[in-house]
Structure 1
């Protein structure tokens, strides 16, 4: 408004810029309170009087129209400011609920379990969201450390609801069953009852015992095993299996397999949001070529470095949720 007054004085009384004073209360409603918007509108009215006298407009119909316009826009801006503040309060409450849901659904994983150190990275595709269709869990049971990582088909609240169901099935079965295949069977039975239509879930169920990792893979990207000597290989299952929800036939059910896991070794679990992330030219993220970033002494710092490299490769927000779970023995 000061700029409008200065320009008006600079150009002389021939050109009137009084109507531009309405920009004051208009912009005030964007970030200010109702009282502040009203105050700015009052300042606009106060400025319009000497400027009208300078432009020889006092007592003219045009000046009354301008004053009425300032009053009307100030009133509308006050209403807009009140509505904005109410929406901000509602959004703040929704975020509190979302944070509570995140703590229940995706609980913080333990940073150490037995003789292993664990690191986690989760990036939601939605900038406003903290949870999505990717899921993970680590449970220390009498049978050993068991973990789950998965990806629910679809996005939005439906995917979050299905992810909650999958995690609930794992948390119950992981402690009840002694053998890993029994855990997988109970999970499948529970999850399939919940899934409807063409929904499905890709997942890896793992159990760490002694110097091996037992894996059951439902059509999920195979984890990477990083040996202490620097070699890297993909822990592919002996037979391909379909995701949970598509296991109609017995022969499609996944079979457990074991991978050596000695002192100093690492194993990286991840969802397809990592390997399917593309740069501006459409090239996929070369995860296998970036494993050197995981050699840091601190596993969490190493995983954060890998996540930063992933985001730099994409050059913007991810199109799909991306979860990574790193185990170091």
Structure 2
């Protein structure tokens, strides 16, 4: 996939000016016009030529180096014009004109450095977008008997992905999904999230029992983290209308059914991945139209003025209408409005709807019934 994502090399001077260059050019020309008008009205000798050096400096804050050079050339030409019109130009006037040219060169060099940095940041943003697609693949709109939608809400405007993770796959053992949250932030969290997802995408097809999947993921996490690092996770399997959930220290999914919101708490608490969790499955029988919300703790911790976002109270009104994608869009809008646009943590959301059994489905056998009673 990475080989298909190519970025075009930057070609300065081609195409229309960027909004920043237009703004810098306009501000610089306005300043030149004002200084020129004041100088012309003041008569001889020239007193304000030095102020023209501010024009290329102003342009350098926003515009490209080519625009800065053009502004500087115009300012230098204006300075020379006033100097020529001044009979017997003084040394001060000549020095002011030379200063305009010198400041133009410095401003152009500064703009070139700023432009290269902006290009590097843009390139990193594009690479981050590619990484996001590689780690968190697009879901849905239909996986097996489930309509599925997912959203990742970043708490940082400059970051598109963090330590929250999710995946949904149609396996020989039913539709399986995971949602998790890596302790910590930054590149280490992204690295661990990618390890967990990579392991899950393999073992979800290999292990008949969700508890065996948890064991494999726990080993993968333990091999790659420190003593205080961990990953909370909830694993869900839908097979023939039977829902099986195992929870490793993660917020409980919410089942939306006929206007009710039911937290699917585990039968017994279990620690996160990395701490050798021993999980007990929770099993529910689904009805057509049931919706299930999986989320990370950023949703439960979102608050304003010390008051937490009332997820359970508002879940049905926000998530029970339209498509699952419509529901998540409504939830995100309500959440952002609640916190006034300021989130303290990333949030991963997965919403799915059970559309009914497959016509050729065999008798449902949830994964917790496969194998030994203790396995």
State if a TM-score over 0.5 links the two structures. Answer: yes
Q: 2:148 aligns with which of 83, 101, 118?
A: 118
Match in the other structure for 2:307: 283
Rounded Cα–Cα distance in structure 2 between residues aligned with 1:151 and 1:83: 38
Q: 2:329 aligns with which of 304, 312, 322?
A: 304
Q: 1:155 aligns with which of 185, 188, 191?
A: 185
Count how many residue pairs are aligned between Structure 1 and Structure 2.
Answer: 322
Alignment of 1:1-329 (within 5 A): 1-10=32-41, 16-52=47-83, 59-227=89-257, 229-247=258-276, 253-279=278-304, 281-291=305-315, 292-329=317-354
Rounded Cα–Cα distance in structure 1 between residues aligned with 2:39 and 2:196: 67
Structure 1: tracts of 5 or more residues without a match? none
Structure 2: tracts of 5 or more residues without a match? 1-31, 355-375
1:289–1:5 Cα change, 3 Å: farther
Question: Deviations along 1:17-53, whole A, 9 cap, x unmatched?
Answer: 3222122211222333322211110111122234457
* Contact kept in structure 1, 2:83 and 2:94, CA below 8 Å: no
* Contact kept in structure 2, 1:120 and 1:325, CA below 8 Å: yes
Rounded Cα–Cα distance in structure 1 between residues aligned with 2:275 and 2:338: 33
Rounded Cα–Cα distance in structure 2 between residues aligned with 1:19 and 1:260: 80
1:149–1:58 Cα change, 3 Å: farther
| C-alpha RMSD of matched pairs (Å) | 2.0
Tell which deviates more after alignment, 153-162 or 29-38: 29-38
Q: TM-score, normalised by structure 1?
A: 0.91
Question: Deviations along 1:51-84, whole A, 9 cap, x unmatched?
Answer: 4577x69622322332232122111111112112
1:88–1:213 Cα change, 3 Å: same
Rounded Cα–Cα distance in structure 1 between residues aligned with 2:63 and 2:230: 47
The SS at the match of 1:245 is: coil
Rounded Cα–Cα distance in structure 1 between residues aligned with 2:95 and 2:210: 79
Tell which deviates more after alignment, 80-89 or 137-146: 80-89
1:6–1:178 Cα change, 3 Å: same
Rounded Cα–Cα distance in structure 2 between residues aligned with 1:230 and 1:157: 40
1:62–1:112 Cα change, 3 Å: same
